[in-house]
Amino acid sequence: NAGVTQTPKFQVLKTGQSMTLQCAQDMNHEYMSWYRQDPGMGLRLIHYSVGAGITDQGEVPNGYNVSRSTTEDFPLRLLSAAPSQTSVYFCASSEFLYGEQFFGPGTRLTVL
C-alpha cells in the first residue's frame, strides 16, 4: 500500500494562477480531508468528504474547491491563487468516522 500520496511536493504560483493539488489513497477509506498548516496555527480543515460524491466545507474553505468522483481521489483546486494561500497543504484519509487519520507527505505552496 502506498497510503496517502500527494502531488506535487512543491509548487510556486503567481497571484491569480489556478492549480490543482492532487491527493490519492489506496486504502479504500471513505473519509478524506484537506488541511492547511501555517506557522503557529496548527492544521485547519479546508474541505472534507465522507464518501464519493459527498463533500462539505471545513473551517477555512474560501478560495478552494473540491470534488470526490471516486473513493480514491480527492483533488483540491485553487481557482485564483492569492499570497494568503501560501501554506503547506496536507491531505488525510480515515476508514472510520473517528478513526486514525493517515496523512500524506504534504504540498508546500508559495504564491508570489
Partner 1 sequence: GEDVEQSLFLSVREGDSSVINCTYTDSSSTYLYWYKQEPGAGLQLLTYIFSNMDMKQDQRLTVLLNKKDKHLSLRIADTQTGDSAIYFCAETSGSSNTGKLIFGQGTTLQVKP
Write out the residues near partner 1 by the rule CB under 8 A.
4, 31, 33, 35, 40-45, 48, 50, 56, 58, 90, 92, 94, 96-106
Phi, psi of 84 (to 5 degrees): -65, -15
Which of 71, 104 has the CB closer to partner 1?
104
Which of 2, 97 has the CB closer to partner 1?
97
Q: Which pairs count as long-range contacts for 50-54, CB under 8 Å and 24+ apart, including other chains?
A: 50/97
Which residue stretches of the chain are H helix?
A: none
Which of 58, 63 has the CB closer to partner 1?
58
C-beta of 40: minimal distance to partner 1 in Å? 6
On whether the CB atoms of residues 6 and 23 are closer than 8 A, the answer is yes
